[in-house]
Amino acid sequence: MMARDRDAATGRPVAMTSGEGPAGGTPPARGNGEGDGAALLRVEGLKVYFPIRQGIIIERHVGDVRAVDGISFAMTRGETLGLVGESGCGKSTTGRAIVRLYEPTAGRVLFDGVDITSLDRGGMRAMRRRMQMIFQDPYASLDPRMTAGGIIGEPLDIHDVGAKGDRRERVRDLLSTVGMNPDYADRYPHEFSGGQRQRIGVARALALEPDLIVADEPISALDVSIQAQIINLLQRLQDRLGLTYLFIAHDLSVVRHISDRIAVMYLGRFVELASSRDLNRTPLHPYTVALLSAVPIPDPVVEGRRRRIILVGDVPSPVNPPSGCRFHTRCWLRQKLGNPGECETVDPPFRVLGPMHEVACHFADRVDGSIEQLQATGRAPAHSVGAIAGGADPADAPPPTRPFTR
């Protein structure tokens, strides 16, 4: 890969513009967010609803699936924001809406100061040179009729970047960058392993040298050893190219390893947003505590003092989410406090409770220092082994309607 100019203040590589190497051509529009401290991506009140219709001859709009229901956050250049939550909580929909693979129902997505929700087809096509996506399934995201070289080079063809000979050389460089033999460019997807296919997906995302990459569960379909290779590859590329990642995953241990900050999502909304260290050491939302309690700690002494919090019941439907706090139907803290009424009637605001630590819970102060928090984070004293949410012994806890999975 060709050497790139670096910012004098930060040392990070600067994105190529018109006439610079393989990413030449007409550059996409830029806003006023060029400073390193400014937000590269700002999401304001993002909503994505999918309509429910009934009828064959005459269709009627009878409701909406509220996949994403009013989230706001910002990301700076070179940052990795992890996004975690249960299946169906809206993580992937958030990522796809940010790059406008899904059209937002409401809200704004500002990329480098430009509101991309108002761009027309041509403007969005130019902007996509600076924002790319790595998809979850390496088997489904690659065209089986195209060679690896054709797949990686397709973004260059679409945006008419460089001459054909330059594009072929660029494809070879990208294969080398992701740790693959450049001669593999003539092979088809079925000739590769799962990890190699995901590397091809990473190379395709890098082809136009974007500023932002949305990684939608890029390792969930891979075995553990290959997961480590892909995570290490993404980190090396970020250090080398100054990339910004929105990293979507289920596995909190992986997200903790790669992320600067972590957002926890439940039923279409953020419930907690904090630095990776703070969220893993002092989670302040009951749902985050439950998630962390399911993550093993590689220390048998510490692990022996932990007890997993089992969330009873199913996740409510996003078609008809609960009133008040959306987590109150499964919340162990609400049960512990005697079912206070505001949990059912008042939507908790997203409050700042510490440096870069925001939580949507009426009683977050009661979580801090609780035995459940201490056990989930491995900080509980040895005499608390028998304690779980509600104070009962784990063996006496009622079986859940459906086991909680991370």
Domain boundary among 228, 259, 290: 259
**How many residues in total does the chain contain?**
406
Identify whether 104 is part of a domain: yes
Identify whether 227 is part of a domain: yes
pTM given for the model: 0.83
Residue 209 and residue 166 share a domain: yes
Instruction: Determine the structural domain holding residue 136 and report its residue range.
Output: 37-53+62-259
Residue 81 and residue 172 share a domain: yes
Type of residue at 371: I
Residue 306 and residue 159 share a domain: no
Identify whether 220 is part of a domain: yes
Identify whether 32 is part of a domain: no
Residue 255 and residue 173 share a domain: yes
Residue 197 and residue 291 share a domain: no
DSSP, residue by residue, 74-136: EEETT-EEEEE--TTSSHHHHHHHHTTSS--SEEEEEETTEEGGG--HHHHHHHGGGEEEE-S
Residue 244 and residue 376 share a domain: no
pLDDT tens digits, the chain, 406 residues: what are they? 333 344 443 344 333 333 333 334 444 444 443 434 579 999 999 999 999 999 888 889 899 999 999 999 999 999 999 999 998 899 999 999 999 999 999 999 999 999 999 999 989 998 999 999 999 888 889 999 999 999 999 999 999 888 888 999 999 999 999 989 999 999 999 999 988 999 999 999 999 999 999 999 998 878 888 888 889 999 999 999 999 999 999 888 889 999 999 999 999 999 999 999 999 999 999 999 999 999 988 888 888 888 889 998 888 999 999 999 999 999 999 999 999 999 999 999 999 998 899 999 999 999 999 999 999 998 877 565 544 444 333 333 344 333 333 3
Cα first-last separation, the chain: 38
Identify whether 182 is part of a domain: yes
CATH no. for residue 234? 3.40.50.300
Residue 160 and residue 73 share a domain: yes
Residue 155 and residue 108 share a domain: yes
Identify whether 271 is part of a domain: no
Give the separation between CA 246 and CA 92, rounded to whole angstroms: 11
**In sequence order, what E strands does 308-405 have?**
351-354, 357-359
Type of residue at 135: F
Residue 179 and residue 218 share a domain: yes
Identify whether 109 is part of a domain: yes
Residue 198 and residue 90 share a domain: yes
Residue 234 and residue 316 share a domain: no
Domain boundary among 259, 274, 290: 259
Residue in 259, 312, 239, 321 with CA at minimum distance from that of residue 69: 321
Q: Which residues pair with 108 in a beta bridge?
A: 44
CB 365 within 8 A of CB 343: no
Total number of domains constituting the chain? 2
Tokens describing residue 92: 């992937």
Identify whether 276 is part of a domain: no
Residue 253 and residue 178 share a domain: yes
Domain boundary among 198, 224, 259: 259
